[in-house]
């Protein structure tokens, strides 16, 4: 990117950030997720750092909050208000700690060690409280940092905020107004029933409540408050001492009868901070308020004062944000990915970004209709979101950032990855394009799937072995796997006799297979493991399934038109009939052992998220099925339990919001035992 391109990009970023800043901070009508907004600001800050001559004192990176509404009295802040700079990840924490050490080394303050206070970053609305002789005289929003809105009447409705302190001090307090999650759900339910638009999140609802002209409305919302900062204090004739550390400041706030969040820790180094941060990534949904990160402050108030502030943020503190579930990036290319059944999926490739704790560089675009709906083009700036535990997806295009160089994507008529002449088609009634003929790549994928854990589960026969078997023409259809002999296998590259023996033993052990696994292994379009289980459970035998017509299949709860037609078409094809006949000559379809079957989970629906120690995902699902239960891929009001393993995705948060029972792996073990 040259200077001219950077200037254009910076101008567009400033325009869109300012637009959404106004909607978020002034109108309380956010249209962007907080993480996506932060991502745009981070990109702008990066460009301004790379091209300092293009920086401007009026840039959104140099301002705080929003202008006060005209409906409220404008009040000047006695103490300038700032926002925190953000860091993401352990490496940025390390860099910030080193920068603090460099700053401290340049001061005249003699200190043996640098210590920090790590506090939870509450996702609410900051307010500034002014007390004179212990009496609350004013409450104001942060506003633009210089001035805010006088919201004293509404603040007085919050029980957690004292109207009179137990000591006659003059003090200015900073803290966060927040809305309990249960109250947020109740308010949105009331608004939904009244036909009013719902609040986007608890922070938005808290802001909307504080900025009501009628204090009775604010009082009805049951807001809460945490105090976290003494911005100035005159202890007057009391026996109180002005705090000399952040830790003492929190203690003094409690003494003054303010509610202080109990979850903070005094740390001697960044290892302690990182541990606290990691713990709260896991626990953040367990509390009744929103938490979006950890605020880290130098403990020594003298050092805080010495380090001071930049134009917009304190140097002595930083916000360590939790992994974003949404962010922005630029599309660099759109490619087509062909699955084992010949289904074609467009995939967006973009500049690598950190999303939900991992670096991602591609996202599914699903199909042609989705591309047209989003109007996504190569070169677009987009918002991407982690959808549960699966590949990220593009959710919105920021069209205001287009410069005219973006390219529309058009599906081609042919694709090298397909078979025959590469022709691709879009069957009537389907959203996806498909290869007219399955190609060599799909042929390999079909065999990978057949031997996988969820199907015939042939241990040791991974993609590399399958590739060799196909390339040497040792297998052409599924049944050939069960006809392999040791002499043929040992002729494969790098295949020792012992390895050949182990592989043949695994093949032999897989000759007995349950009907759902057999059906799933055939790579029938739209038939995954759960659908295969439903069909197998309904018909009971492969013979009945092969003879089923469309009406028989649609009668199954969970099987629709598309699946029914796919199954019927598969078994109607002569070449597929031959493949199945040959396979049945080699394997035996068995019933699950009666000792493994019960109905203790009958009528219960489970969702799994995160990784389990004692089960693969397939084994966990089978444990539920064996006991009469169902497994779903998404959380809804029909879900009974969400089983949470390590590093769970957003399904855990969804379970919390919908008040679905959450089980640990240990709880799940007890339930199925």
Do the beta carbons of residue 353 and residue 384 sit within 8 Å? yes
**Of 70, 90, 170, 88, nearest in space to 129 by CA:** 170
Q: Does one domain contain both 91 and 229?
A: yes
Phi, psi of 636 (to 5 degrees): -150, 180
- 526: its two tokens: 């739209």
User: Domain with 308 in it: what CATH number?
Assistant: 3.30.470.30
597 has pLDDT over 80: no
- The closest alpha carbon to 510, from 467, 455, 578, 580, belongs to 455
- Residue 232: inside a domain, yes or no? yes
Same domain for 350 and 471? no
Dump the DSSP string for 133-150: TTEEEEEEE-TTSSEEEB
Looking at the domain assignment, is residue 434 inside a domain? no
pLDDT score of 661 more than 60: yes
Residues 52, 101: Cα–Cα separation, whole Å: 25
The answer to the question of residue 415 being in a domain is: no
For 465-477, the pLDDT digits (tens) are: 999 998 888 998 9
Q: In this structure, are 270 and 145 located in the same domain?
A: yes
pLDDT over 80 at 261, yes or no: yes
**Mean pLDDT, rounded, for 525-544:** 87
**Percent with pLDDT over 70 in the chain:** 95
Model confidence at 143, pLDDT cuts 50, 70, 90, reads confident
Which three-class secondary structure state does DSSP give residue 267?
A: strand
Residue-wise pLDDT tens digits, 415-455? 888 888 889 988 887 788 888 887 777 888 889 999 998 89
With 0-12 / 13-18 / 19 or more C-beta atoms within 10 angstroms meaning exposed / middle / buried, residue 526 is middle
Is pLDDT above 90 for 610? no
* Residue 419 within any structural domain of the chain: no
Do 489 and 361 reside in the same domain of the chain? no
Q: How far is CA 603 from CA 13, 74, 324, 534, in A?
A: 51, 58, 36, 14
Query: Are both 86 and 130 inside the same structural domain?
Result: yes
Residue 428 lies in a domain: no
- Shared domain check, 530 and 458: no
**Secondary structure (3-state) at 103:** helix
Using pLDDT thresholds of 50, 70 and 90, give the confidence band for residue 64.
Answer: low
pLDDT at 388: 46
Q: What is the per-residue pLDDT for 655?
A: 86
- pLDDT-based confidence at residue 481 (cuts at 50, 70, 90): very high
Residue 422 lies in a domain: no
The model's confidence at residue 200, banded by pLDDT at 50, 70 and 90, is confident
Q: Examine the pLDDT at 311 and tell me if it is beyond 90.
A: no
Band of pLDDT at residue 387, cut at 50, 70 and 90 = low
Please give the average per-residue pLDDT across 169-177, as a whole number. 96
- Pair 478, 558 in one domain: no
pLDDT, tens only, 342-383: 788 888 999 888 776 667 888 888 889 999 999 999 999 999
Backbone angles phi, psi at 630, to 5 degrees: -120, 155
Q: Are residues 267 and 125 in the same domain?
A: yes
Contact 139, 151 (CB under 8 A): yes
- d(CA 524, CA 566) in angstroms, rounded, equals 7
For 476, phi then psi, to 5°, come to -125, -20
Q: Is residue 170 part of a domain?
A: yes
**Same domain? 352 vs 493:** no
Residue 600 pLDDT > 70: yes
**Number of continuous H segments (helices) and E segments (strands) in the chain:** 24, 26
> What is the share, in percent, of the chain residues with pLDDT greater than 90?
37
Confidence tier at 89 by pLDDT (50, 70, 90) = confident
Instruction: Please identify, among 321, 355, 374, the residue that sits at the C-terminal boundary of a domain.
Output: 321
Gyration radius of the chain over CA positions: 31
Q: pTM for this one?
A: 0.58
CATH number at residue 633: 3.40.50.10190
What is the SS3 assignment for 414? strand
Q: At what angle do helices 181-193 and 651-658 cross, to 10 degrees?
A: 70
pLDDT tier at 191, thresholds 50, 70, 90: confident
- What pLDDT was estimated at residue 601? 87
> Is a pLDDT exceeding 50 seen at residue 411?
yes
Contact 377, 371 (CB under 8 A): no
101 and 134 share a domain? Answer: yes
Q: What CATH number should be reported for the domain holding residue 371?
A: 2.40.50.140
**Catalytic site positions:** 121
Distance CA 426, CA 431 (A): 7
Q: Of 321, 351, 385, which marks where a domain is finished?
A: 321
pLDDT tier for residue 385 given thresholds of 50, 70 and 90:
confident
Which of 541 and 648 is assigned the larger pLDDT? 541
Q: Which residue has the tokens 């092969």?
A: 546
Give the side-chain half-sphere CA count within 13 A for 522: 29
> Do 80 and 222 belong to one domain?
yes
pLDDT score of 549 more than 90:
no
Residue-level pLDDT at 529: 82
Which DSSP symbol is given to 54? G
Q: In total, how many domains does the chain have?
A: 6
pLDDT of residue 658: 85
Instruction: Please check whether residue 374 lies inside any domain of the structure.
Output: yes
Domain CATH number, residue 481: 1.10.150.20
Q: Are residues 533 and 581 in the same domain?
A: yes
Q: What is the dihedral of CA 444, 445, 450, 453, to 10 degrees?
A: 130
Give the CA-trace dihedral at 658, 659, 664, 667, to 10 degrees.
Answer: -130
- Among 510, 533, 551, the domain-final residue is 510
What is the rounded (10 degree) CA torsion for 121, 127, 128, 133?
Answer: -110
Range of the domain at 107: 74-321
CA 321 to chain centre: 14
Report the CATH number at residue 41.
Answer: 1.10.287.610
């Amino acid at each position: 990117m040259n200077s001219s391109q950077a200037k254009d990009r910076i101008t567009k970023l400033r325009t869109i950030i300012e637009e959404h800043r106004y909607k978020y901070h002034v109108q309380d009508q956010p249209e962007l997720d907080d993480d996506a907004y932060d991502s745009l600001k981070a990109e702008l800050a990066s460009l301004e750092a790379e091209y300092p001559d293009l920086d401007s004192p009026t840039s959104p990176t140099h301002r705080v909050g929003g202008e006060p509404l005209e409906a409220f009295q404008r009040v000047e802040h006695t103490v300038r208000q700032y926002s925190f700079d953000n860091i993401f990840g352990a490496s940025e924490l390390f860099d910030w700690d080193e920068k603090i050490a460099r700053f401290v080394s340049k001061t005249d303050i003699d200190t043996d060690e640098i210590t920090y206070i790590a506090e939870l970053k509450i996702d609410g609305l900051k307010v500034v409280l002014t007390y004179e002789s212990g009496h609350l005289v004013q409450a104001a929003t942060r506003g633009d940092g210089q001035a805010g809105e006088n919201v004293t009447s509404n603040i007085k409705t919050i029980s957690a905020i004292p109207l009179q302190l137990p000591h006659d001090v003059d003090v200015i307090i900073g803290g966060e107004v927040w809305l309990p999650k249960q109250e947020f759900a109740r308010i949105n339910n009331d608004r939904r029933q009244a036909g009013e638009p719902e609040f986007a999140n608890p922070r938005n609802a808290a802001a909307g409540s504080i900025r009501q002209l009628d204090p009775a409305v604010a009082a009805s919302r049951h807001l809460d408050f945490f105090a976290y900062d003494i911005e100035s204090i005159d202890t007057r004739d009391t026996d109180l001492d002005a705090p000399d550390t952040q830790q003492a400041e929190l203690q003094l706030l409690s003494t003054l009868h303010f509610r202080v969040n109990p979850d903070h820790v005094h740390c001697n180094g960044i290892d302690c901070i990182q541990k606290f941060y990691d713990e709260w990534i896991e626990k953040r949904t367990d509390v009744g308020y929103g938490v979006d990160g950890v605020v880290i402050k130098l403990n020594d108030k003298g050092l805080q004062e010495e380090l001071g502030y930049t134009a917009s943020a304190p140097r002595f503190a930083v916000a360590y944000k939790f992994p974003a579930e949404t962010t922005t990036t630029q599309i660099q290319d759109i490619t087509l990915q062909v699955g084992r059944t010949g289904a074609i999926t467009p995939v967006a490739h973009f500049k690598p970004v950190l999303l939900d704790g991992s670096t991602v560089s591609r996202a599914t675009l699903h199909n042609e209709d989705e591309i047209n709906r989003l109007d996504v083009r190569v070169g677009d700036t987009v918002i991407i979101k982690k959808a549960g535990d699966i590949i990220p997806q593009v959710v919105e295009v920021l069209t205001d950032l287009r410069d005219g160089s973006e390219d529309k994507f058009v599906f081609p008529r042919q694709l090298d990855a397909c078979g025959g002449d590469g022709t691709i088609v879009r069957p009537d009634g389907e959203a996806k394009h498909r290869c007219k003929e399955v190609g060599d790549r799909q042929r390999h994928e079909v065999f990978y799937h057949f031997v996988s854990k969820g199907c015939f589960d042939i241990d040791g026969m991974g993609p590399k072995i399958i590739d060799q078997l196909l390339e040497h023409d040792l297998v052409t259809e599924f049944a050939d796997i069960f006809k392999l002999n040791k002499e043929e296998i040992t002729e494969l590259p790098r295949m020792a006799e012992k390895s050949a023996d182990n592989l043949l033993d695994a093949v032999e052990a897989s000759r007995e297979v349950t009907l759902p696994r057999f059906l799933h292994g055939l790579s029938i379009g739209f038939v995954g493991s759960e659908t295969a289980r439903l069909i197998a459970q309904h018909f009971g035998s492969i013979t009945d399934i092969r003879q089923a017509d469309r009406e028989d299949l649609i009668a199954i709860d969970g099987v629709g038109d598309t699946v029914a037609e796919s199954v019927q078409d598969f078994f109607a094809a002569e070449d597929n009939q031959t493949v199945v006949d040959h396979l049945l000559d080699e394997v035996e379809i068995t019933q699950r052992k009666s000792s493994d079957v019960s109905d203790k989970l009958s009528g219960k629906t489970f969702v799994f998220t995160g990784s389990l120690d004692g089960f693969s995902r397939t084994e966990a699902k089978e444990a539920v099925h064996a006991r009469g239960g169902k497994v779903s891929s998404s959380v809804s009001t029909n879900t009974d339990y969400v089983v949470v393993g390590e590093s769970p995705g957003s399904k855990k948060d969804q379970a919390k919001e919908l008040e679905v029972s959450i089980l640990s792996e240990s709880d799940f073990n007890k339930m199925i035992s």
